[in-house]
Each structure stands twice: as structure tokens, then as C-alpha cells.
Amino acid sequence: MGKIALLFAGQGSQYPGMGKDFYENSPQVKAVFEQLEALRPGTMEQCFNGTKEALSITMNTQPCMFAVDYAIAKAVQERGISVDAAAGFSLGEIPALAFAEVISLSQAFELVCHRAAVMNDAAEKYPGGMQAILKLPADKITALAETFSDVFPVNYNSPEQTAVAGAPEQLKSFAEAVKAEGGRAVPLAVSGAFHSPYMNAAAESLADYVQNIDMQQGVCPVYANRTAQPYTVDTAKELVSSQVNHPVQWVKTIEQMMADGADCFIEVGPGKTLSGLVKKIAAEAQVYKVENTADLDALLQSLNKA
């Protein structure tokens, strides 16, 4: 086996009860949740007992997802799995940076709370939407988007799927253009046009905010959504702030991690979105997900056999 990489889940995979199984069965996870609860009271209640509606509000989603992603990653590490690299999808990049000790846990959590607030504010001031485009290659989607003034390719998820963001009225016309080309547009249940110029104000606020955060060389490489290359001390502040108004280069990220020796990917956090995308990008890779203790037990058994 080559290198093991952790993938930190992003916004959209949240659900009520996430993380509770680990909280009840892992002292280390319990300690993580209680530390974050002290910084943002109500986080555990929202994760374990919150409603789907409450968890879908960006102000709640991002800190709750951070807590679950990071806690599960620590549980994986606690069980003796040595992690060689990490990446996170959008929001997931922040707990990945905390896990790799680029940013301290408390500062990373406070950063994600600020990130949620400024992205929510930008979405309210500049309303937009998002769609996942299926059955068309990324270059075709990009070329099609260039014929619209307010539609932007934002998430290069897999060779078969690219998300776009932009003005709601233009997205309707874009969906028709996609259909005419043989593709399919699926509206996404999000509150804004994330990773597009609609988030410029959020990026500017984050750029100011991160100047007061200490960033170190990570204990393992964290691959950036923007560049598909590992973070460095010199690039960290710019990358983490500009990430919100630039596309997520997920296909290139996984390809680069593979090129650098990773062949086993473990998704940590709610859902299985990222593990599904990896299977479409790199069919030869070993792919696992861990969102509960049963998943972790199964992972350990598989790795012991490998």
C-alpha cells in the first residue's frame, strides 16, 4: 500500500445525529466536542439532536460539520492509522488544516464560524444559486458558461460532474442550454452562489481576518482546493481566504495526490459524497468512508488484511 490520505467532508452532507456515535464511544472525540462546545455553545445539540432545517442554515452547518469532520479524523488517528496527506472539500479544508496542525484547533474553529457568517451575509446581499451539471465534460460546461454573464463553473467534482453558480434567472436558461447539449442540470439545495464572484465580499473579509491567525508548516501536506497543490506557510493565508470565491479543483486535487503516492483515501465526516467522487476520478484507488464507529472497525479490518 502507498500513502493514506484523509478527505474531509464538505457542506451538504450534514444530517441530524451526526457524530453522536463517536461522541458516546470515543473519549478523544468527546474531548474534542466539549472543547468546541465551549467555544460555540449549542454545537453539540445541533449536531446530535438538531433538525435538518436548522442544520441547513450556513451559520450552523459549517461549525457543526467542522466539529464532526475533525473529531472523526482524530478518532481514525487514535486507532493507529498513520495519515500521510489530507484534503477537504470547500468547508472541509478548514478541519483538514486543523488536523494537520497548520492552524490550531481553536483558531480554526473560530475561523470557520467567521467564514460561515461572512458567506451567509454575502449570500443574503447577493442572492444566487447553484446547479450540478451531469453528462457533460468540464471543458464543455466551461465554454457554455462563458456565453452567460452571471454563470460560473465552481466545483470540478469528477469527470462526470461540474457544479456551476450564478444568478437564479440565468441558471434557468443555462439548464435549458445544458439539456440541448445532452446534459442534465440538477439544482442544489444551497443558500448562495458559493465559490463564485458572488462571494467576493466574503473573501475580502476573510483576508483581513486571517492576518491575525498563526499558520505553521503542517505535520502532513494539505492539498488546496484552489491549486490542487499542498499548502505552504507562505501561501496559507491567501489560499484559505480566497478559496470561497474561486472554484474547487477536486479532480486535479485527487489526481495530484495520486501522483504524489496516495492510493488509499479515507473520507471522514458525514455522508459518502467524496468517496463516491474519488471512485469516479481514480477507479484504481482504495476508498473508504468513516462516519460512525462501525465504519472505523470495518476500515481497520480491511487495512489489516491489506
> Which positions are catalytic?
90, 195
Of 174, 124, 169, 173, nearest to 154 (Cα)? Answer: 174
How many other β-carbons are positioned within 10 Å of the β-carbon of residue 110? 17
Radius of gyration of the chain (CA): 18
20-46 burial, b if ≥16 CB within 10 A, otherwise e? bbbbeebeebeebbeebeeebeebbeb
